[in-house]
Structure 1
Amino acid sequence: MNMLNIDPEQVKRLFDSGALKIAIFGMGKMGLPLAAVFADRGAKVIGVDIDKNRVDMINAGENPVPEEPGLADLISKNVDAGRLRATTDGVQAAKDADVMIILVPTMIDDHGNVNLNPVYDVAEKIAKGLERGNIVITEATMPPGTTESLVPILEKSGLKLGEFGLAHAPERTMTGTAIRDITGQYPKIVGASDESTLNAVSAIYEVINKKGVIRMSSIKAAEAVKVFEGVYRDVNIALANELALFCEEQNLDALEVFKAANTQPYCHIHMPGAGVGGHCIPVYPWFVMNLSKRHTRLIRTARELNDEMPEHMVELTLKALNENGLSAKNANILVLGLTFRGDVYEFRKSPSIPYIERIKEWSENVYVYDPVCSEKDAERYGVKWKEDFRDVDIIVIMNDAKEFKELNLDDLAKSMRNKIIVDGRGIVDKERAKSLGFVYMGVGRK
């Protein structure tokens, strides 16, 4: 179907009639919810993934991303209705689709170099099935300029840009709220190769997003939006962390000061913490640093500071033990949180990993608990699994899982051998803990 020069009302009718065919490459935590939402609105959606087990689960109406609220019902409903299916055959999916969306992971190595091979591999497959009038959209977050670098690959189809459309519409979602985010938490950002493609892609997303679309002047501008969002958060978290470290030196409570400062509308100091993890915030600054011809001093310093926070958590742990006459070597240390964010099963760049590696140099008895993990996960990172607080000398809170926010301090006081809390997420009621005899330390907390 020729999607170029199509008007918004035609797009809506294509959804309503089930005539629009969309192939989404990447059935991960972002791609699968997007596929389910498009299918639920009426499109025929083909989900493409290299993981055959994942593909088989989807085709059976099962949800391989159980932590995403509402997703299981959408998958089951739309697979049963014939609007959603999955495959490992990307070439055939491209041949069958009118619109192809690339939403595969973009990773960096230890030196900040981005690996775009998954994106290029998908583009090669799409080129073998691309037809005149089709539209290719990248949603994966990438360095500005990447989407347009796919043009020579896509033109292996024998078509020239203009005979097919190209756009970037960055995903603006978080694990745990993906469906909410896709359907209207934020406007969709869209940049395209030409006006007709921009009109068509905008109309497509307006069907599923009640907040509408922000139309950008170019594909590169759309790419920069998502990258800058991540850089903003990283830099501001680093500022919060640096101010929190200052508060520790000055015997101030950072959260008290930040809360008061943020009542001024031009001040928005973020939450300090044990470190920054995940696929996004620690990664996107490198897209700017590696592309810029200038020395990106502020961004680079912020990245370094945030990477140092797990080490500061080690320092707080040792300080808390030493000040209470305990030896780190013999203390039972329970780390609460193994994943990078509470209630999300993802370990990429989790601050808990470097913290555990370092604290094991001091202690022979390091344990971990995370409500979304298992003993096997603990073994993978070389620590013991512990689901209770008996004989624990110190708990170190590394992520903000709901269960940790609801810790019963009375029960903790009765169970622990020594009552010490190091709070890396600012989630424990400090005054309540102290009233029960706990020694409390936290990032920026006196």
Structure 2
Amino acid sequence: MTADRPAALYGSDAPEDVQRTALTDGSVPVAVYGLGKLGLPVATVYAERTGNVVGVDVDPSVVSQVNGGDSPVAREPGLDEALAEQVARGRLRATTDASEAASAAALHVVVVPTPLADGGDSDGGPDSDTDPKPDLSHLDAVTEAIGDGLDPGDAVFVECTVPPGTCAERVRPRLAAESGLNPTQFGVAACPERVSSGRALDDVRGTHPRVVGGADDESTRVARLVYDTLVDSEVHPVADAATAAASKVFEGVYRDVNIALANELASQTADLGIDVREAIAAANTQPYCDLHDPGPGVGGHCIPWYPHFLMDRVEGETPLLSTARAVNDGMPDYTAERLREALAEEGVSLDGAEVLVLGLTYRADVAETRATPARPLVDALNAAGAAVVATDPFVAADEREAETFAAPVVPPADATSRDPDAVVVVTPHREFESLDWSAFDDPVVFDGRDALDDGTPHPTYTLGRGWE
């Protein structure tokens, strides 16, 4: 390692085993920017492996909770205990001062969101009538703060998902401009997280191979060394940062296209006269087939956004990506139409009917409503004249979040006091498993997730199966 910067990894001439020791004994201070549902597990694992981490977040309440050893991320197995231990041992602290954290750190890990803008809906989700673009303002703000405290030999890892080319074309030049350093004096690499909510700690520690790619060869070397020390799984270096970033975007695009195919097949249930879900399960017994499950829409901060990261980047047409987005964005309206038909078969008009929506977050047991399909579904039902009431354990507990939906939100315990004409299962949270369906006075049930394994005593239409 260089004499003037013993904690530096980038450009070090010390043997790699010495660099690894410096990383694991706390000699390399680490700053993790963003302490959300992905960033906090990342910071916790870095603390476990390095012992010298400061986490940065713009929300003072998040910082206060973390410094108290209390996780603000709900239902993340093992995180509460792991975070409390690292904070108690003095290996992890949090701050709102990104510049102060940057000045002290030699390794900078960025885990901030890249939402959609200029055409996205009010919560950052895509709108099929416009042309959403990735909003890199959060990344830019963190980059400026890091640049203000950047020293020669520092390394910056972008773990959040960004359009290919962002690291070399945007992050590296901005760091150089802000710090006054030559780009050859510090490292920049794309090291995209491969984490799912509900298993974040395991995923960060190494459920899947970790892809890394640097803006130059030395950046790739440092990223490989760090993640080989940090994770239990294989580290997979690629040609450059753009390739690493593209690999993560491709993962999301694959799933979006796959789900669109499943949704299109599910929409043909009546014409085919079959249980499409059963046919999908049978097809997937062939090892080269991996059809996903249909549903009332695609939500979250990943799958519905990543296709736009590519479509905004390339000049040519991307008809497959565009079509998949249109299919998946159309599922809330499709669900509302199928519900209208299901009610009509029972002699009830959707116009004036009370509809209870079960689940508003985009995924079961996850407190995340970004781009949730429940939002456009509620809007479509309202537009059809229905009186919509929703229930969700996460949203009901957050008054500000509940106010973002165009329907009253009640706690799950109060749901059975309603007398709805229809119930729509959008997000099957575990709280709904004990729902007393017999308390309802014979509503039509639309199961968008095939979640009602034991059925209900009411007429039930399951997306992809039909009437049961």
Q: Distance in 1 between matches of 2:393 and 2:103?
A: 43
| 3-state SS of paired residue (1:86) | strand
1:393 matched to 2:429? The reply is: no
C-alpha offsets along residues 70-124 of structure 1, whole Å, 9 cap, x if unaligned?
Answer: 2122222111211111112212211111101111110112231111011111111
Q: For residue 14 of structure 1, what is the aligned residue in structure 2?
A: 22
Q: For residue 9 of structure 2, what is the aligned residue in structure 1?
A: 3
Q: Distance in 1 between matches of 2:406 and 2:133?
A: 28
Q: For residue 26 of structure 1, what is the aligned residue in structure 2?
A: 34
Q: How far apart are residue 368 of structure 1 and its match?
A: 1.1
| 3-state SS of paired residue (1:372) | helix
Q: Count matched residues.
A: 438
What amino acid sits opposite 1:426 in the alignment?
A: D
1:65-104 maps to which residues of 2 (within 5 A)?
A: 65-104=73-112
* Larger mean Cα displacement after TM superposition, 177-186 or 154-163: 154-163
1:350 matched to 2:372? The reply is: yes
Shift of the 120–437 alpha-carbon distance from structure 1 to 2, 3 Å rule, reads closer
Q: Distance in 2 between matches of 1:378 and 1:87?
A: 28
C-alpha offsets along residues 398-438 of structure 1, whole Å, 9 cap, x if unaligned?
Answer: 1132334x356xx41x2111242101111123xx53xx653
Q: For residue 165 of structure 2, what is the aligned residue in structure 1?
A: 145
Q: How far apart are residue 3 of structure 1 and its match?
A: 0.7
1:266-415 maps to which residues of 2 (within 5 A)?
A: 266-374=288-396, 376=399, 377-386=401-410, 387-390=414-417, 391-404=419-432, 406-407=433-434, 411-412=436-437, 414-415=438-439
Q: How far apart are residue 252 of structure 1 and its match?
A: 1.4
Shift of the 262–361 alpha-carbon distance from structure 1 to 2, 3 Å rule, reads same
Shift of the 378–48 alpha-carbon distance from structure 1 to 2, 3 Å rule, reads closer
| 3-state SS of paired residue (1:396) | strand
Q: For residue 4 of structure 2, what is the aligned residue in structure 1?
A: none
1:71-220 maps to which residues of 2 (within 5 A)?
A: 71-109=79-117, 110=120, 111-148=131-168, 149-156=170-177, 157-220=179-242
Q: Is the 8 A contact 1:20 1:43 kept in 2?
A: no
Q: How far apart are residue 165 of structure 1 and its match?
A: 1.0
| 3-state SS of paired residue (1:2) | coil
Q: What is the TM-score when the length of structure 2 is the normalising length?
A: 0.90
Q: How far apart are residue 300 of structure 1 and its match?
A: 0.3
| 3-state SS of paired residue (2:311) | helix
Q: Distance in 2 between matches of 1:369 and 1:8?
A: 54
Q: Distance in 1 between matches of 2:305 and 2:293?
A: 19
Q: Is the 8 A contact 1:419 1:437 kept in 2?
A: no
| 3-state SS of paired residue (1:348) | coil
RMSD: 1.7
Q: Distance in 1 between matches of 2:280 and 2:444?
A: 25
1:45 matched to 2:53? The reply is: yes
Q: How far apart are residue 2 of structure 1 and its match?
A: 2.2
Shift of the 119–437 alpha-carbon distance from structure 1 to 2, 3 Å rule, reads closer
Q: How far apart are residue 7 of structure 1 and its match?
A: 4.3
Q: For residue 418 of structure 1, what is the aligned residue in structure 2?
A: 442
1:243-282 maps to which residues of 2 (within 5 A)?
A: 243-282=265-304
Q: Distance in 2 between matches of 1:11 and 1:445?
A: 57
Q: How far apart are residue 329 of structure 1 and its match?
A: 3.4
What amino acid sits opposite 1:290 in the alignment?
A: D
* Larger mean Cα displacement after TM superposition, 58-67 or 97-106: 58-67
* Larger mean Cα displacement after TM superposition, 208-217 or 383-392: 383-392
Structure 2 spans left out of the alignment, 5+ residues: 1-6, 121-130
C-alpha offsets along residues 307-362 of structure 1, whole Å, 9 cap, x if unaligned?
Answer: 00000110111111110011323433111011111111111111111111111233
Q: How far apart are residue 228 of structure 1 and its match?
A: 0.3
Q: How far apart are residue 209 of structure 1 and its match?
A: 1.2
Q: Distance in 2 between matches of 1:403 and 1:259?
A: 27
Q: What is the TM-score when the length of structure 1 is the normalising length?
A: 0.94
* Larger mean Cα displacement after TM superposition, 358-367 or 207-216: 358-367
Q: Distance in 2 between matches of 1:42 and 1:311?
A: 49
Shift of the 205–251 alpha-carbon distance from structure 1 to 2, 3 Å rule, reads same
Q: Distance in 2 between matches of 1:263 and 1:122?
A: 46
Q: Is the 8 A contact 2:392 2:409 kept in 1?
A: no
Q: Distance in 1 between matches of 2:343 and 2:115?
A: 37
Q: How far apart are residue 259 of structure 1 and its match?
A: 0.6
Shift of the 331–81 alpha-carbon distance from structure 1 to 2, 3 Å rule, reads same
Q: Is the 8 A contact 1:23 1:47 kept in 2?
A: yes
Q: Is the 8 A contact 1:248 1:443 kept in 2?
A: no
C-alpha offsets along residues 152-192 of structure 1, whole Å, 9 cap, x if unaligned?
Answer: 21112122122111111001112221111101111111001
Q: Is the 8 A contact 1:11 1:200 kept in 2?
A: no
